[in-house]
Amino acid sequence: KRSKTPNDLIIQLKPLKEMISLMGIKSLEINNYEADDIIGSANKIFNQSLDKVIVSSDRDMLQLVSKNTSIIFPQSGKKEDVIICENNFCDKFQFHPNQTIDYKSIVGDASDNLPGIPGIGDKTAIKLLKKYKTL
């Protein structure tokens, strides 16, 4: 179960929303939906018609990488942000964006409550995905 949102973050949201609005940046909020679900749905709706760049540290966004969608992963400190696009995805992860869900299902992901397959880690998961393409 997800922990409660810290109050220090909650008090920053209203000023942040006001600032975004004043900058002319459109935003979308839907009660009881997480941001990644809204982003994924919007990406699907506009998939072929727009080039999109998603800025997120959520690795679940990797499944959205395509010819029209890139992900920028902000880095802490002075490190350069990491840009993942269709052209560099396979070099970085050794599997394709449409295999992201299968990969996470095999190796597991504690943040999504996916236990994975016991005894199978990153290297074996990649070998399996290269051989069988999908679960």
- In the chain, the N- to C-terminal Cα span, in Å, equals 27
User: Taking the complete model, does pTM exceed 0.85, yes or no?
Assistant: no
Q: What is the pLDDT of residue 67?
A: 92
In 3D space, the residue among 53, 65, 36 whose CA is nearest the CA of residue 28 turns out to be 36
| pLDDT tens, the chain, 135 aa long | 667 889 999 999 999 999 999 999 988 899 989 889 999 999 988 877 789 999 999 989 999 999 999 999 999 888 899 999 999 999 999 999 999 999 999 999 988 889 999 999 999 999 999 999 998
The alpha helices in 1-135, defined as continuous H runs, are: 7-22, 35-45, 89-93, 100-107, 122-132
Alpha carbons 105 and 122: distance in angstroms, whole number: 11
Alpha-carbon gap, residue 117 to 108, rounded angstroms: 7
Supply the pLDDT for residue 117. 95
- pLDDT tens digits along 29-65: 999 898 899 999 999 888 777 899 999 999 899 999 9
**For residue 2, what pLDDT is reported?**
67
For the chain, give the number of residues.
135
CA dist 97 and 89 (Å) reads 7
* pLDDT score recorded for residue 1: 61
pLDDT at 34: 87
